[in-house]
Amino acid sequence: MIEDKIKKLGFELPEPTKPMAAYLPSVQSGNLVFTAGQIPVVKGELKYKGKVGFILTLEEAQKAAQICVLNCLSVVKSITGSLENIEQIVKLTVFVNSADNFTSQHLVANGASELLGEIFGETGKHARSAIGVNELPGDSAVEIEMVCRVKN
């Protein structure tokens, strides 16, 4: 079971986060699920704030990315009923709140990508973009959105 695997890795699948605003956490169309952008919220609290490379280290940002991607999985589960119904993680877009001259967005994103690999194996292998931005909602350090293919 995928959720057992998440626990064995030392993580916990959170309850789906409520959107900070007027939209849905995820929407299915055909066999694709698109998630809303997820920030590193744990039990209602934004855990990692500030610019990576200034306020936060790379290692902290990688932990933030792990939380974001677990939140993505949680909102996918809220639609599909179970993580077992994920056939393929298709795409991640990873936005990193970046200090001037911080250019390791791809290493931040590895926090998310490697965790998906550990959880899902082949099913977790995805295409990905890592992008630096100057601001994110609530001063979040990272925001990640996911597209995945699910059983229909």
Residues in touch with a second copy (CB under 8 A): 19-27, 29-32, 34-37, 88, 90-93, 95-96, 98, 100-107, 109-110, 113-114, 117, 125-139, 143, 145, 147, 149
For residue 108, the surrounding DSSP H or E stretch is helix 105-120
For the bound state, the minimum distance from the C-beta of residue 137 to a second copy, rounded and expressed in Å, comes to 4
For the bound state, the minimum distance from the C-beta of residue 34 to a second copy, rounded and expressed in Å, comes to 5
CA angle 34, 67, 28 (to 5 degrees): 15
β partners of residue 71: none
| Listed residue (29, 13, 42) closest to 90, CA to CA | 29
Nearer to a second copy, 1 or 21 (CB): 21
Nearer to a second copy, 38 or 60 (CB): 38
Nearer to a second copy, 1 or 105 (CB): 105
Strands 86-97 and 127-133: parallel
Distances (CA, A) of 134 to 59, 95, 131: 19, 10, 10
Nearer to a second copy, 1 or 22 (CB): 22
